[in-house]
Amino acid sequence: MCESLNRDYQICEEIGRGRFAVVYRCFSALSGDSFACKSIDKRLLFDSTDLECIQKEPKINQFLSGNPNILQIHNIYEDDNYLHLIFDLCESPTLFDRISVNNKLSEAQANAYFKDLMTAIAYCHRLGIAHRDIKPENVLFDSRDRLKLADFGSAEWFKFGGNEMMSGIVGTPYYVAPEILSGEEYDEKVDVWSCGVILYIMLSGVPPFYGDSAVETFEKVVRGNLRFPTRLFRSVSPEAKDLLRKMLCKDPCTRPSANQLLRHPWVMNGGESENEMN
């Protein structure tokens, strides 16, 4: 690892691993505080898109610094072979893990997570940035159990330089918006769709558009035939279903913005359904 990184931080055990990166726990030599060091091996990056992502991620994270629900980047180090990013340490189970353990969440708990996630998204959108790969695995929690939106490698500016719309196939099966798959230009409301999928999964335990393969899943996403099976949604409030219908609307022009969603009655009333209050 590079000399300046080793001077500033004590690198400890591995706590995560991805295609191009390894994440380590580390300690600040100055303060003793704990952080996460994401070390990206640049020698594994041959695709121009991947190279662009690792260059863009730290810039966007720095630009978004200051919001309590976005993973903060603290330092950047680079040598010939590696890019090292120092982030907040988030060792609590991810949103994906929490849903997996519990199968589904209560409306009140789903509401709390959703409100924090949508607050982070609204902040990004106000600054002209779309995340474009929102999924439960990218929703982390710190030691105070505070939600942190992470992984801005696929993020894009959509307002600066006169470029209002975006293009390109990005995202993850189950969560990607239909307009991305259709090859159209699209706007920041692709993030609203992804958050709608997450909310659906939190409330039911299953994705709204499921196939036995990625291709079949994509076909169902593009069709956008939204249903609420009685056995899964019997106890879910009408307000939550109304919110889901609005978010998982195929037409992005009628899909609400992140700011508008924060004013939806279900979000504002804390997710308390009549069944839960009685």
- CATH code for the domain of 178: 1.10.510.10
Last residue of a domain, one of 70, 87, 104: 87
Angle between helices 95-102 and 189-204 (to 10 degrees): 30
- Decide if 212 is catalytic: no
The verdict on 137 and 206 lying in the same domain is: yes
Q: What is the pLDDT of residue 162?
A: 47
Are 140 and 256 members of one domain? yes
128 CB contacts (<8 Å, ≥6 apart)? 157, 158, 159, 160
Looking at the 3D structure of the chain, how many domains does it have?
2
Which of 116, 133, 151, 187 is an active site residue?
133
Q: Looking at the structure, do residues 103 and 61 belong to the same domain, yes or no?
A: no
Nearest to 94 by CA among 74, 122, 113, 81: 113
Give yes or no: residues 103 and 139 share one domain.
Answer: yes
Whole-number Å distance between alpha carbons of 42 and 19: 11
pTM as predicted: 0.91
For residue 96, which of 172, 13, 20 has the smallest C-alpha distance?
172
Residue-wise pLDDT tens for the chain (278 aa)?
688 999 999 999 999 888 789 999 999 999 999 999 999 998 888 777 777 788 888 999 999 998 999 999 999 999 888 999 999 999 999 999 999 998 999 999 999 999 999 999 999 999 999 999 999 999 999 999 999 999 998 999 987 544 578 998 898 999 999 999 998 899 999 999 999 999 999 999 999 999 889 899 999 999 999 999 999 999 999 999 999 999 999 999 999 999 999 999 999 998 765 444 33
Q: Do 60 and 174 belong to one domain?
A: no
State which residues form the domain around 212: 95-277
Please tell me whether residues 117 and 230 are part of one structural domain: yes
Q: 198-213 burial, b if ≥16 CB within 10 A, otherwise e? A: bbbbbbbeebbbeeee
Do 57 and 155 reside in the same domain of the chain? no
Considering 62, 87, 112, which residue would you say is the last residue of a domain?
87
Q: For the chain, where are the alpha helices, taking DSSP H only?
A: 3-8, 48-63, 95-102, 107-126, 178-181, 189-204, 214-223, 230-233, 238-247, 258-261, 265-268, 274-277
